[in-house]
Each structure stands twice: as structure tokens, then as C-alpha cells.
Amino acid sequence: MQVWKDYQEKNKDRFLEELLALLRIPSVSAKSEHKPDMLACAEAVKQRLIEAGVDKAEIHQTAGHPIVYAEKITDPSKPTVLVYGHYDVQPVEPLDLWNSGPFDPTIIDGKIFARGSCDDKGQFYMHVKALETLIQTNTLENNIKFCIEGEEEVGSPNLSTYVKANTELLKADCVLISDTALISLDTPSLDIGLRGLSYIEVEVTGPNRDLHSGVYGGAVANPITILAKMIASLHDENNHITIPGFYEAVLESSTEERALMAEAPFNEAEYKDDLGVRELWGEAGYSTNERTGIRPTLELNGIWGGYTGEGAKTVLPSKAFAKISARLVPNQGSDKITELLINHFHAIAPPYVTVKATLHHGGEPYLTPIDSSAYKAAAKAMETTFGKTPIPVRGGGSIPICSLFEKELDCKVVLMGFGLDSDNLHSPNEKFDLANFYKGIETIPYFHKYFEG
Ligand code: BES
Ligand code: MN
Ligand code: MN
């Protein structure tokens, strides 16, 4: 649509400036010291939505960080699209690995470097600017609601209560989310699934206090050694997970599905080169894309214990710790897998130690069909602006609220993301390409035009 193109071309510098201002707010949900920044960010998001032309925008308090809700109701008899996103970001450490300040957005070679540039401020902001485009050009025909939360990066602990209590307010014909990646601007894709999550922490205690490693070493088990052995036993020689029952509920993909998945372009040499590894690692019998898409995995997220300060200390520590998470696929249930993980750690603990295992957070996997009206509208919108049909792919990350949205609002979730896997999400030097930002703003209005409910 030429009017959209003209409007966006005229305003593109302002769109970018507004995003940069949002990126300057350090909205790290995991850290209590950032609570005032979380409020400031929610307020800024609300203001930008008001300026974009919504009928109403409100800040809804929760037991944690607030949710920004907004709506533009054009005609109640027309379809309604609920846009979900998150204004919170991951912690920025290690700071010394950033080439510019994480909250001092810097543009180099057409890429915005900042925490939250891609995940998810840059992506949900495309929807705010798409809405502005539709309103300013008098071309908005359906209804658009926004639910932008501040706790996605900490597992959305309060969002399910909010959604369950507000199903009327949030009622929609589909949920549209831009918080995932494309294969590339040359090869558009749409995520048809995301993995779930079970996240636990394990504490292993040996002797009742830290000991001199010379006086006691050799006579008392070292909890770090024991924890390391327990962790090493979680994968077998084929890199299958050894926890009994772990794979029981896994929905196997059909041969046809796997053949289709293999058609997505993938360059293993480039992939390895980008990551600086000589060989890839993973479950025997599956390709790289399958290992990150259709298969469940188990990762160590952190491990510590004993002396890690400057210099050396000869200590046999009392305790060792690990943070461990499993990525889940349909139809694995998060609660069930968490229980398996916790029980397994107790079961394999040798008598030299005691084990305490506790839940951090979880989330259910999501899978959506490609014949829903919402998926079709997204595919058609991408066809229009990329000149190519998007490839359906399975995303490896998690957005825990997807399955709850589908259940509570009785509608499908479309994952139309515009990031790239190489955007350094959760890492130092997170970035978002300007071309992807503008491509999203260009594409989203077509989704609203094509979506018929
Ligand atoms: N946007 C990501 C999820 C994502 C990234 C999906 C890339 C697909 C491709 C989201 O913000 C995220 O990081 N989610 C967490 C969830 C967790 C904190 C409960 C994740 O996947 O680790
Ligand atoms: Mn995200
Ligand atoms: Mn994230």
C-alpha cells in the first residue's frame, strides 16, 4: 500500500529515535534495584501507545512488575487482534564484553546495539508504529489490543493470573507476537512452535562446614566432585537424556514433517564459524535444526561452589550448586518434568551428600497449525513484503504464555518475529538490524488487512 509506504518513509527517523529512547531505560526485570526503571518503562510504553492513537492505555499493577494494556476499537463487529510483547530485558552482565553501553543504544553498520533492541522492545515497538501507520492513513479496519508485560524474562509469574482474571478485556480472535527470529530477510519464516521450560536449582551439601583440603581431603567426599558426576550422568554416550520417563510424552514428528523441516536452508560451516566451535554436539539421530526445534534438551545454566575469588584457597567446600533447565516439546508437561528432574537428583545422590532441588520457573511448549486464519494472514503479509512464502519452523526458545493464551482466550497465537538468531539475545552486544525493524513495520499492517478472524 503506497500510503503506508509514504507515511513510514516520511517518519522513519522519528520511529527510530523513539525506539532508542525506550532502549535507554534499563528495564531489567530480574533485579529489584531496577524497579523504578520498570515503572518508568511501563509509563513510556503507555505514552507511546497513546501518541500512536489508541482509545485507551492503562497500567495494570500485578504482584510483580506492571502490565501495559491498550486498545483501539474500530468496530466491535470486526475481528480483534491482541498484540503481546514484553518491555523487560535480561540482565546485561558480563558488562566488560559489551562494545558500547547496553543502555546507550549505538548504531553501527545499520544495526542497533543495545539490551532489548531485538528482545523485545525493538520488536513490540514495530507494532506500535504499525498501528500509528494504520490510524494516520485511515486504513485501520479491525480492532487492536496490546498487552505488553514486564516479567517475560523471569518466567511471567503473574501473567497467567492476570489473563485468567481478564479474559473479557483481552478477548481476541488471535494473538500476534513478534518475539522470535526469521531465518533471514532473504528467507522469511514463521515459528509454528516454541519449546517449554522446566528450570530448577540444585544444592548439594557434603560436610557441615568448609574444610582444610589437606587435613580432610581424601577422607570426605567433595560436593563439587559429586555434583559434577551427577551432572555428567544426565546424558549418555549418544547425548540422550538419562532421566527415566523424560521422553515418555514427547510428540514425535512424522517423517513428512522432518523432510519439510530439512528444506529450510542451513549452512553448518557458517553456523560453526559464527559460534567459534570446531564441532557441533547433540542428540544422535537428529539434525541441528531438529535438536533445537523438535527435541527436548537439558542445559546447565550455571554451576558454582567453593572458592572462586582471587588467588588460590585450599578448601574442601561444604556446598556446591547448579542451575539446570530442560527445554520441552509438545506434549511434555512442565510440572511433570520438573517433578522428574527433582526426584531424579534425589534418587542419584550418593550417601556422602544431601541434595536439595527446587523449582525456579516453568512454561508449557506451544505448537500451532499452519491452516488457521491467523497463520494464513501472517504468511500472506510476509509474501506481500518479502516476495516469498515464509517457511514454517519450530523455534527453540520459550514464550511461556502462548499455550495459556490459546486456552484462556480460545484463539490461535501467531509468532511473526523479525529478529535473527545471530542477534545475541541474552548475550553481550545484543543487536537488531534497522532493516528488520523497518521490515516489521512494513509487514504488520498487511497482517491486519488480511486477517479476517
Ligand atoms: N524472545 C525470547 C524467546 C525466543 C527467542 C523464542 C528466540 C524463539 C526464538 C524470550 O524473551 C525468552 O528469552 N524467553 C525465555 C523464557 C524464560 C525466561 C521463561 C527463554 O526462552 O529462555
Ligand atoms: Mn523475548
Ligand atoms: Mn528473552
Q: Are residues 189 and 200 in the same domain?
A: no
Listed residues 363, 379, 403: the one ending a domain? 363
Question: Number of folded domains in the chain?
Answer: 2
In short, whether 182's Cβ falls inside 6 Å of ligand 1 is: no
Mean pLDDT of 50-62: 98
Q: 88, 119, 173, 423: which is the annotated catalytic residue?
A: 88
Ligand 1 centroid – CA 325 distance (Å): 13
Is position 16 within any domain?
yes
109 is catalytic: no
The answer to the question of residue 120 being in a domain is yes
Q: What is the pLDDT of residue 409?
A: 98
What CATH number does the domain containing 415 carry?
A: 3.40.630.10
The grid cell for 82 is 491482541
Point out the ligand 1 atom lying closest to the alpha carbon of residue 197.
19
134 and 246: one domain?
no
Tell me: do 177 and 204 sit in the same domain: no
Mean per-residue pLDDT, 352-370 = 95
Nine-digit cell string for 201:
536449582
The residues, any chain, with a CB within 8 Å of residue 36's CB and separated by 6 or more, are none
- How many A from CA of 288 to the centre of ligand 1? 19
The mean pLDDT value for 228-256 works out to 97
| End position of a domain, from candidates 363, 387, 402 | 363
In terms of domains, do 114 and 224 share one?
A: no
The mean pLDDT of the chain is 97
d(CA 320, CA 224): 5
Nearest bound ligand to CA 90? 3
Co-location of 35 and 63 in the same domain: yes
Q: Is residue 170 domain-resident? A: yes
Choosing from 71, 119, 120, 152, the catalytic residue is: 152
Which ligand has an atom closest to residue 402 CA?
1
Q: Determine whether 152 is an active site residue.
A: yes
CA of 399 to the centre of ligand 1 (A): 5
Based on the fold, state whether residues 42 and 104 are members of the same structural domain: yes
Are 147 and 7 in the same domain?
yes
pLDDT digits (tens, 9 = 90+) for 63-116: 999 999 999 999 999 999 999 999 999 999 999 999 999 999 999 999 999 999
What is the amino acid identity at position 424? N
Of all protein residues, the one whose alpha carbon is nearest to atom 19 of ligand 1 is 155
Q: How far apart are CA 27 and CA 87, in angstroms?
A: 7
For ligand 3, the distance from its centroid to the CA atom of residue 365, given in whole angstroms, is 15
Distance of alpha carbon 146 from alpha carbon 221, whole angstroms:
54
Does the Cβ of 196 fall within 6 Å of ligand 1?
no
